[in-house]
Copies of this chain bind each other. A is one copy, B any other.
Amino acid sequence: MTDPADPRLLPPDLRARFRELLARWVALPSVAAEGRAQAVTAEAVAEALRGLGLDVEIHPTAGAPVVFAERRVPGAPTVLFYNHYDVQPADPLELWTADPFTLDERDGKLFGRGATDDKGQLASRVVALEWLRRRHGGELPVGVVFVVEGEEEVGSPNMAPYVAAMRDRLQADACVWEFGGVDAHDRPHLVCGLKGIATVDLSVRTAAYDQHSGLGPVVQNAVWVMAAAVAGLRDADGRVRIDGFYDRVRPATEREAHYVGLAPREDDVVARQIGVEGFLGGATGAAWHRRLQLEPVVNVNGLHGGYGGPGMKTVLPASATAKLDFRLVPDQDPDEIVDLLRAHLDRHGFGAVEVALAERPEHPSRVDPDDPWVRHAADALAEVYGTPAVITISSGGSGPLSPFVDELGVPVVMLGVGYAEGRAHAPDENVRWVDVERGTLATVRTIERWAGLTPAA
């Protein structure tokens, strides 16, 4: 009898299949920000899903096409997989050890743009289902649906309308999200929620053109106006000062607070990694996790105005711009938050600062950490990794989770083949073979435990 917790069990031909899929997909430069290689990458994904015996359709959207695949099994529950075939831009190219669009194997790792985010995760799902089929008499023992979009890296602007339009065909009993993996201490994480996001562009003009700064005693300064507007949005500890901002924040449930309290300390490791001496509000330990998982925030992504070159230019700038993102928690509404921002600016004398929504907002969403699907996943992770899974109530990041959880009503788990040094979005993005083995097996075992299946072999 085989030991299902031994990651080395991924059969050699499936290991080869993973590498083959990833090599083919990494070679397609499907950079969403540049709208590149969308149709050809969608078709390459479709081909792999057809190989699992799924019925595949490529659906046009207002942006990149969505690869939809489906195979229902009468009498069995259905698992929905959400993934994406698009990637982040590869620049700065000079920081890559090898070509980002050619899969390169070094030191037990596979390198390339998308190696982990999300082509590696998707290849692992495909191989997991092939393995699952093999372990259960050559047929998929559960229904399977795939939604593989091509615009996740630019905020999934078409996912909410797609899910709404496809509501009936996307019905499922459980969902595996596009990412997951182990932390810096090699502990598997199980993420149960994502923040919502609203991104806005701010701009202000105070005169027809820049002036000599000798006019400073009488002429308003656009950069000062923008700096003051942005400064007033929060305090030094990150507490948001916009009236009504926290009104709809749903208090953490007792169980959510319980899981946040269980999270092992990470702030010390993160502080060393990113070169900071401390965190906002002096947060450490559980308080650090509580802020990161449960607190909404406003971020200024950039502020620009006036002279920024070498030396001095005694100019009085006539215009300035800033970019903000709001990371939101249940039950904050992104559109309402943008309205509150507008009202806040008007009330504090910044009526001249214009506010424009940059991207379609995403709503915050969370899955109940005690949902059976989550519990089965946690048990599978403990079995495969030999250590308990860390339950994360919410990531600090965002994604199109709400349409799936709140519209379709399907519970979601986030697990996979990532690790702390996978460099998603950065040069030398990579995935480790050891995580491919364990993460793929964890996906298989999660489905088997949840559906009450015993492997035939």
User: Footprint of B on A, CB under 8 Å?
Assistant: 33, 154-155, 195, 197, 199, 206-209, 211-221, 223-224, 226-228, 230-232, 234, 236, 238, 267, 274-276, 279-280, 283, 288, 291-292, 295-308, 311-317, 320-321, 323, 325, 327, 349, 358-359, 395-398, 425
Contacts and interface: CB of A to CB of B under 8 A. Distances in A.
B236 A299 contact: no
12 contacts: A155-B312, A212-B396, A214-B396, A216-B325, A217-B291, A218-B283, A220-B238, A227-B227, A300-B317, A301-B316, A302-B308, A312-B359
Contact of A213 (B223, B299, B305, B316): B299
Contact of A207 (B274, B291, B303): B274
Interface centre among A155, A213, A315 (most CB of B within 10 A): A213
Nearest to A317: B302
Given A218-B288, A231-B227, A312-B323, A303 B306 contact: yes
Given A220-B280, A227-B230, A275-B207, A315 B291 contact: no
A303 to B, nearest CB: 5
Contact of A275 (B208, B224, B396): B208
A321 B212 CA distance: 20
The prevalent SS among residues of A at the interface is mixed
A395 B214 contact: yes
A323 B306 contact: yes
A300 B221 contact: yes
Contact of A280 (B195, B218, B232, B297): B218
Contact of A220 (B276, B311, B312, B397): B276
B217 A300 contact: no
Contacts of A306: 300-303, 323
Given A275-B208, A276-B206, A276-B220, A315 B302 contact: yes
Nearest to A281: B218
5 closest A-B pairs by beta carbon, nearest first, are A208-B275, A302-B306, A214-B396, A228-B231, A214-B397
A214 to B, nearest CB: 3
Contacts of A228: 227, 231, 236
- Of A221, A300, A323, chain B has the most CB atoms within 10 Å of the CB of A300
Contacts of A307: 301-302, 323
A396 B213 CA distance: 8
A58 to B, nearest CB: 25
A230 B300 CA distance: 15
Nearest to A197: B314
Contacts of A232: 231
Contacts of A320: 303
A310 to B, nearest CB: 9
Nearest to A314: B325
Contact of A211 (B199, B219, B274, B312): B274
Given A219-B279, A301-B314, 11 more contacts: A199-B312, A214-B327, A216-B396, A220-B280, A223-B230, A224-B300, A226-B303, A301-B315, A302-B313, A308-B321, A314-B325
A117 to B, nearest CB: 12
A280 B221 CA distance: 10
B313 A301 contact: yes
A66 to B, nearest CB: 21
Contacts of A209: 274-275
Contact of A195 (B214, B238, B325): B214
A227 B395 CA distance: 28
Contacts of A302: 223, 305-308, 313, 315, 317
Contacts of A295: 217
Contacts of A288: 218
A317 B304 CA distance: 12
A384 B312 CA distance: 39
Contacts of A397: 212, 214
**Of A274, A395, A425, most B-chain CB atoms within 10 Å:** A274
Contacts of A396: 212, 214-217
Contacts of A395: 214
Nearest to A236: B349
B292 A217 contact: yes
Contact of A219 (B274, B317, B325): B274
